[in-house]
Each structure stands twice: as C-alpha cells, then as structure tokens.
Amino acid sequence: MKKLIYILALAIVTAACQAPAAEESGTSPVGDATVEKVIDQLIEKHGSEEAFRIERGVKRAADLWRTSDGSAADFETFCAENFIADREELDLVFDRLTNNFEYLYGYLGRIGVELNRQIHEDRGPIHQIDQLFGSYSPAAHVQDDLFKNKIAFIIVLNFPHYSLEEKNEMGGDWDDRQWGFARLGDYFSARIPANILQENNRIYSEGRLYISEYNVYAGKLVNEQGETLFPENMRLLAHWNIRDEIKSNYGEPDGLPKQEMLYKVMLRIINQDIPIEVINNPEYNWNPHTNEVFQNGQKVDFEEEDIRRYQYLLDNFRAMKNLDPYYANLDTYIKRRFESSMEIPYEEVSGLFKEYASSPLLRDVGKIISERLGRDLRPFDLWYNGFVGRAGISESELNEITQERYPDAAALDADLARQLIDLGFDDQMAEFMAARIDVDAARGSGHAMGASMREMPSHLRTRIGADGMDYKGYNIAVHEFGHNVEQTISNHMVDNYFINGVPNTAFTEAIAFMFQKRDLQLLGIDQADPMMEHLEALDVFWDNYEMMGVSMVDMEVWKWLYDNPDATAQQLKDAVTRIAKEVWNEYYADIFGDEDIPLLAIYSHMIQSPLYLMNYPYGRLIMFQLEDYIADKDFAEEIMRIYSIGQLTPRQWMERAVGEQISNEPIFAAVEEALKAVQ
C-alpha cells in the first residue's frame, strides 16, 4: 500500500487551517479572448515551434487563475514574463525544481512518518493527542503557497500536461528527461481549498485507525460445546489475519472446524451483527455460530456493531466526492483513481477481471481442489493454498523457526542484507538497500512506506508478537520487503525525481508478490519439487480469482455510491451485501455450489483505502508476466533493470520491462499446461 499512504500524506492539511476565500473555488477571471490574445502574442514572440507548449500552458494556467492571483491584465503580464522558450533555461528550471521538490516534499513526508508513528506502529495505547497529530500535516498550505507565489503557475505554463492517451501514444519515443517533464506537467491539476483537503484527511485517518484496531481474539471463540479451538492469546486482525488463519489450517487434522468458525466471524463482520463487546477485547467469549457472548461462563447481553463499518465507507465517499468540482475532466473519484492514479481506464480493468473470473479453467481448478479436500467446496475455500505445500512443514513448525530467528524488529532489520544476497544481489548493493530500509513493529497487519526522498529510509512494518514474529508476520514482512526494494531502486536508480517510483501500485505489488513467494528460500528451506512450477501457476491462478471478486465488488460499490450520493449508511450496507452476493452468484456460485454468499465484502481495504483493491489482482498478473520473462535470467539483475525504469504509464513500462502488455493470456496458458500435468 506504499503509494496510497504517501500520496495521502502529502495531500493533507492542518486542522487549524482556515477556509480559503470563496473566490478560490470560483471561476477564473481570465476570459477566452484574453487567452487567445496571450497565445498569439507568445507565438509571435517565440515562434510557431513553441505553439504546442504555449497553447496548452496558457489555457491551463488561465483555468487555475483566480481573482486573488491578479487581474486579466496581470495574467497577460505574467505569461509574457514567465514563458521559457530557451531550452537551456528550461532545463535549468527543471533541475532546480527536481532538487527543491525532493527536499520540500521529502522532509514534509518524513515529518508525516514521525507524527504517525504512534498510530502506525505497535507502541502501546493511542491517546487522543496521537490521533490529532495523525491528522495534522505541515504540508497544509503548500499548494496554496505555490499558487500564491506563482511557482505553480510557472510550472503549469512551461511544462505541458499530457492526457493518458497522449502519454501512451508518444511516450515510447521519450527519454527519461522528457518523461520527467511530462510528470512535472501532471502537478497542479486542480486547485482544491485547504479546508476540504483537511476534512478528507481527517476521515481517512479515522478509517485507518478503526481498521488497525479491528481485532478478534480467536482464543476466546467457542463452539456450541463451549470449547475453544485456537491458542488462548491468538489475536487476529480483520480481515488479514483471519484470512491467513483460514489458509494455515488446510491439511491440519482439526482444520475444518476452525475454518468454519472463522468464516462465521467474517459473515458477522460483513452483516454487522458482530457484538461490539468482542472487537479488540479479550474479556468475553463469543460463539460466532449462534452469536452468543459469555463472560465468566455466563451468557450476557451485547450490542451489535450495526452500521459502523459502512459509515466509515460512506464518509470516505463523501470526502472524495467533495473534491469532484475542482477537476475539469476527472470529475469523479472513480475517474481520478483509474485514469489518473492507475492510468488504466475503468472499462479496461473491469473487462480484464470479468474475462478472468469467467474462465472455464477455474471450474477445472475448483474440481481439483474439491478432490484434494475430499469434500464439496465451502465459500472460504476461496483461500485454499494447498497447491504449494510449504515443503511439507506445518505452520506451527514454521512459527518456531521464525520466532526464534526474529524475536523483534531489530533482528529482521539486521537480516535484510543477507536475504538480498541470497536472492542474488551482490554484497555492495545488498548493503546499500538494507541500509535504506527500517523495520518497525506494526500496529495493523503491516505495510511498506516508501522514502519521500533519497536521504530518508523506507519503512517495513509487520506484526511482531511478544513471542517473536510468527510465520504469518514473516510472510507479510517478506511481501513488504519487496515493496521496500522497489521503493529503494525506483527512488535511487532513476534519472530524475519526477519519474521516481512505478506506474501505479499494482507494479509495486508485483515485486512484493515475487518476494513473498520466495519466503521459504529466505529461511534456507529447499522446495525441490519437479511439479512446483505447475503447482505455483495453479496457486496464483486460484488466489487471483478471489482477488478479482473482491475488486469487482469494490468497483461496483463505488458506482452505486455515485448513483446514490445521498444514501444512508444502512442503505449502503444493504447495497454492499447485495452487490457482493450478485458478483458471487455470477462468477462463483456454480463452482462453490452456494448462492447469495456475501463473503466478497470482507476486505478491510474497502473501508479504509478507497478503490485500492484492484491493484492486487493486477499486481499478480504483472508478477506472473515478470516471473515468466526472467525465468531464464538473473533474478537480481532483472529486478534492478526493470524497477529502475521509473514512473512511466503502465503501457510504456510493460513494453520496456517485458515487451508485452498486461493480459490474462500468459497465466491462462500456464494453467492449461499445469492442469495437464496435475491431472
């Protein structure tokens, strides 16, 4: 979740800021006649070869100009004095902006990291003062200030903004510096009042805090005989740890009753009839099958959570919708998320997912899973992970290994360079990257936070219990480590600051998945199996099937929200469960044998991270194509080459990385071969 966290951190404003003057959200005082006059004057002065930059820059600057910036005559003067035709001067300005923006946003980003440590890391109880600092940002007035001192207008005037179509069409011929110019042109696409941004951040922060403390104490769950099935101190964060605990019980003698119990917990969360008393509270026993709560062996009354989960989602929608009027073309959050942030149109994403979820290959894989389990599939078998057998080692044995090796965050931090060397990186590069990654014990499930400048470290965060890091925490840590490696390469090895990073979050998820699949290798455990390649293809294929479903639910929910902007939290709750059931019925019911299952609505990302989920299935498709491409090549060398390409569009990045576009076809072909081998 690297990109989302960093972008939102830079977008927030202080709680103390005042609402801007009304004129800031009004229309421009610069009319069409003035715009045409300025364009003609600049072309006459600098020549027709500058016509494209002049026309695009003047029109965009005029759209963003406000009365507080000056009169129409002031606008004419500004453009005449600040359009840069000389290429050497333009290069000089670009270099100065590269340096200054890295320091400006770099230090602001670092301050945000420090002010949020108590919320993001496992540092004890959260006080109200911590929450207030979590919603505070020293970046409060940066956008306003850069417009007021005209730096933003100099950028808008001189560095053209290109549409996604134009970047895809022309970007193949651009060098890294030209891409930097284009990415700089993406800055200042809207002028949003600070009070709206502040409210947006407050709501985002509250949602993340709600999810980060949504724990269920598995050791306090009881069945109808009053028996507990899980270790007494097991605490599972919804949905991540609950899902992973379901996965870990495949192949265990007593695994099925545990899975059924956790499945009921998930349904209670979705339906919101989960008792408030059992959320992040070890004082009660709870039977999720009957929804009864006990204290000291006695049944007690409780309060259902009701609609709180969906109120956070609704608040996120309203906060995002408040930004809509300030974007000329990207006037919905859906458009901004897909066409700007992801740079893949909604229709293309939706079409790819539906093609995947409709594949007849899934029916064949489902039959194999059912045969392996010796029973009909249950809805939670979405998380079946029995194709890759962890080298025959049980989860409890893996827990012993990881807890002994990583008793705390410092132990993992000290081992990062060794892990990179084991993956093929030379000693010097391994030490370079490891020195730029800090490991922290996470309050939530874990995440990676990229460095906002080259002089600062990125952060690897995962859950570490009192007994050390269990295998689930380790597996997540290796995933986040992959993010950190990408963050380090794409920050330090690119040509300029404005192309640091990757096209979108799916591309950093791809490398995170590549690292995660090598977790046992990094523990020194050999997985020598001639069928491994085929089994891994089936594992990725089935895993991505689940992610396609939850992503489609997320996308359809946001479409519903825009169609029903005045909905209540109760209406949203009803809509989410209905949409989840509809997606299930269309793409899952015939495989699992059950209809009207709302399970696809369980993911916590829906509540705390608006329209984020589609990055995971896209990331797996990209991962599969990257793994296929580098199969006969050096892993470390290719990772270095590919992730130093920089922040191009997805289309241009994939062309340079592997010479083909994102598609379902490579994994379909691999699964066909795998089915022949397995059957």
Lowest mean pLDDT among 9-23, 236-250, 342-356: 9-23
Q: What is the pLDDT of residue 27?
A: 81
Residues 6+ apart with CB under 8 A from 632: none
230: left (phi over 0), alpha (psi -120 to 50) or beta: beta
How confident is the model over 665-675, as a mean pLDDT? 95
Q: How far apart are CA 28 and CA 65, in angstroms?
A: 5
Q: How far apart are CA 156 and CA 53, in angstroms?
A: 10
Q: What is the pLDDT of residue 425?
A: 98
Rounded to whole angstroms, what are the CA distances from 63 to 72, 96, 146, 236, 265? Answer: 12, 25, 16, 50, 51
Kind of pairing, strands 437-441 and 458-462? parallel
Q: Could you identify the residue written with the tokens 């995002």?
A: 320
Q: How far apart are CA 296 and CA 314, in angstroms?
A: 37
Q: How far apart are CA 144 and CA 146, in angstroms?
A: 6
Q: What is the pLDDT of residue 390?
A: 67
Q: What is the pLDDT of residue 169?
A: 96
Measured in whole angstroms, the distance separating CA 594 from the mean position of its chain's CA atoms is: 31
Tokens of 249: 């019980």
pLDDT digits (tens, 9 = 90+) for 340-358: 999 999 999 999 999 999 9
Q: What is the pLDDT of residue 6?
A: 36
| Mean pLDDT of all residues belonging to the chain | 91
- Rounded to 5°, the CA angle 457-508-333 comes to 105
With 50 as the cut, is the pLDDT of residue 2 above it?
Answer: no
With 90 as the cut, is the pLDDT of residue 26 above it?
Answer: no
pLDDT digits (tens, 9 = 90+) for 392-413: 688 889 999 999 999 999 999 9
Its pTM stands at 0.85
Q: Could you identify the residue written with the tokens 């956070």?
A: 312
Q: What is the pLDDT of residue 391?
A: 62
Q: What is the pLDDT of residue 504?
A: 95
Q: What is the pLDDT of residue 384?
A: 97
How confident is the model over 153-182, as a mean pLDDT? 96
Q: What is the pLDDT of residue 199?
A: 85
* Residue 642 banded pLDDT, cuts 50, 70, 90: very high
Q: How far apart are CA 187 and CA 157, in angstroms?
A: 12
Rounded to whole angstroms, what are the CA distances from 67 to 164, 328, 473, 564? Answer: 31, 19, 54, 35
- The b-or-e profile of 595-610 (16+ CB within 10 A means b, else e) is eebbbbbbbbbbbbbb
Q: What is the pLDDT of residue 23?
A: 42
How confident is the model over 87-114, as a mean pLDDT? 93
Q: What is the pLDDT of residue 203?
A: 92
Q: What is the pLDDT of residue 17?
A: 33
* Residue 11 banded pLDDT, cuts 50, 70, 90: very low
Measured in whole angstroms, the distance separating CA 612 from the mean position of its chain's CA atoms is: 5
Residues 6+ apart with CB under 8 A from 549: 357, 382, 583, 584, 587, 588, 600
Q: How far apart are CA 40 and CA 365, in angstroms?
A: 64
Q: What is the pLDDT of residue 560?
A: 98
With 70 as the cut, is the pLDDT of residue 570 above it?
Answer: yes
With 90 as the cut, is the pLDDT of residue 601 above it?
Answer: yes
pLDDT digits (tens, 9 = 90+) for 310-346: 999 999 999 999 999 999 889 999 999 999 999 999 9
Return the half-sphere exposure (C-beta side, CA atoms, 13 A cut-off) of residue 373: 21
pLDDT digits (tens, 9 = 90+) for 456-482: 999 999 888 889 999 988 999 999 999
Residues 325/336, Cβ–Cβ less than 8 Å: no
With 50 as the cut, is the pLDDT of residue 22 above it?
Answer: no
With 70 as the cut, is the pLDDT of residue 664 above it?
Answer: yes
Nearest residue to 314 via CA among 604, 573, 613, 5: 573
Residues 172/653, Cβ–Cβ less than 8 Å: no
With 60 as the cut, is the pLDDT of residue 162 above it?
Answer: yes
pLDDT digits (tens, 9 = 90+) for 484-543: 999 999 999 999 999 999 999 999 999 999 999 999 999 999 877 778 889 989 999 999
